[in-house]
Amino acid sequence: MKFIRVNTLKIDPKTLKNRLERKGIVLKETFLDYAFEVKKSPFSIGSTPEYLFGYYMPQSISSMIPPIVLNPKEDDFVLDMCSAPGGKTTHLAQIMNNNGCIVAVEISKTRTKALKSNINRMGVLNTIIINKDMRKYKEELLKKKIQFDKILLDAPCTGNEIKDKHRNVSKEDIKYCSLRQKELLNIALDLLKKGGELVYSTCSIEVEENEEVIRHILNNRNDIELVYLTPDKFLGINIKKGYLDGTLRVFPPNEPFFIAKLRKI
Ligand SMILES: C[S@@+](CC[C@H](N)C(=O)[O-])C[C@H]1O[C@@H](n2cnc3c(N)ncnc32)[C@H](O)[C@@H]1O
């Protein structure tokens, strides 16, 4: 299944739909008025002038859910902790109507280039790109007493290894990722303002990288509560309650995803 997210910072969904349909691309509506399923395309969806103009982003419908659930406001100060190549950063900027401020952090230099290119292509103006390891950058932020209203932690996971490196994952990989995810989530929560909200997401199917990470945080910190999510508004998506009440899981044929929301109290 292929989807596109229309970049409403540059074009309205109806105009883009008409333009693409005139080229023989068949699009189907989704629960989101600015996202379409690509039912048929005579050529690669990433090779049109409209793509180069930054009118849309090809991405799974599942990957659009974390920014929607985070729901940043136009005056929010937002941290996107693991941001490249920027599918969710550019979506957050779109929801914020290019207002407020997003700090987009990415550890990999090569992936930061892709992030920069997507941000430029899509006309995002409210984002500061930081090519650093969040585990070190945290110290700088805390020293300056900088905290955020909203944080997205779209964590590195074994799902990325399957997709990017086409390899099977071992028990050790899952354990390694789970430890890293707990570390990153604790960092994120330290950087969240009181009353601030955080969305944790992965494209892994493993409980150790999803529900267990959230359970670990809830058992070990007394300044965090779970914000209950329900699957009902994501019509047409194979989305269900996660194995921890209040969390969400997307299942095939959609791209598998786990989404949880936390609040600092
Ligand atoms: C799941 S991908 C993020 C996808 C991105 N959110 C998007 O929607 O396009 C996870 C990213 O986290 C980055 N990463 C891993 N560890 C990190 C760290 N300690 N600090 C910052 N970025 C990190 C990886 O290089 C990778 O690009």
pLDDT digits (tens, 9 = 90+) for 124-178: 999 999 999 999 999 999 999 999 999 999 999 998 766 766 678 899 999 999 9
122, 57 contact by CB (below 8 A): yes
Q: Report pLDDT for 166.
A: 67
Q: Report pLDDT for 182.
A: 98
State how far the Cα of 196 lies from the Cα of 135, in Å rounded to an integer.
Answer: 20
Q: Which residues contact 113 (CB under 8 A, 6 or more apart)?
A: none
Give the distance (Å) from ligand 1 centre to CA of residue 107.
7
For residue 238, name the pLDDT band (cuts at 50, 70, 90): very high
Characterize the bridge pairing of strands 248-250 and 148-154.
unpaired
> Is 60 annotated as belonging to a binding site?
no
**How close are the terminal C-alpha atoms of the chain, in Å?**
39
Q: Establish whether residue 83 lines the binding site of ligand 1, counting it when its CB lies within 6 angstroms of any ligand atom.
A: yes
- Name the residue with tokens 């691309």: 25
Q: Report pLDDT for 258.
A: 98
Q: Report pLDDT for 168.
A: 80
Among 10, 204, 194, 25, which residue's Cα sits nearest to residue 118?
10
Report H helices in the chain: 13-21, 49-52, 65-70, 87-95, 109-121, 134-143, 158-165, 171-190, 211-220
- 62-264 has CATH 3.40.50.150 classification: yes
What tens digit of pLDDT does each residue of 201-216 get? 999 999 999 999 999 9
> Is 232 annotated as belonging to a binding site?
no
Characterize the bridge pairing of strands 257-264 and 224-227.
antiparallel
Q: Pocket of ligand 1, candidates 5, 61, 83: which has the most ligand atoms within 8 Å of its Cβ, to mutate?
A: 83
Q: Report pLDDT for 160.
A: 79
Mean pLDDT within 111-136: 98
Q: Establish whether residue 29 lines the binding site of ligand 1, counting it when its CB lies within 6 angstroms of any ligand atom.
A: no
Q: Report pLDDT for 26.
A: 98
The pLDDT mean for the chain works out to 96
- 2-58 has CATH 3.30.70.1170 classification: yes
What tens digit of pLDDT does each residue of 74-109 get? 999 999 999 999 999 999 999 999 999 999 999 999
112, 87 contact by CB (below 8 A): no
177 is known as an active-site residue: no
According to DSSP, residue 237 is labeled S
Residues of the chain with CATH 3.40.50.150: 62-264
Q: How far is CA 263 from the centre of its chain?
A: 17
Q: What H or E segment, with its residue span, contains residue 192?
A: strand 192-202
What tens digit of pLDDT does each residue of 44-71 get? 999 999 999 999 999 999 999 999 999 9
- Name the residue with tokens 């008409």: 18
Residues of the chain with CATH 3.30.70.1170: 2-58
> Is 231 annotated as belonging to a binding site?
no
Q: Report pLDDT for 164.
A: 67
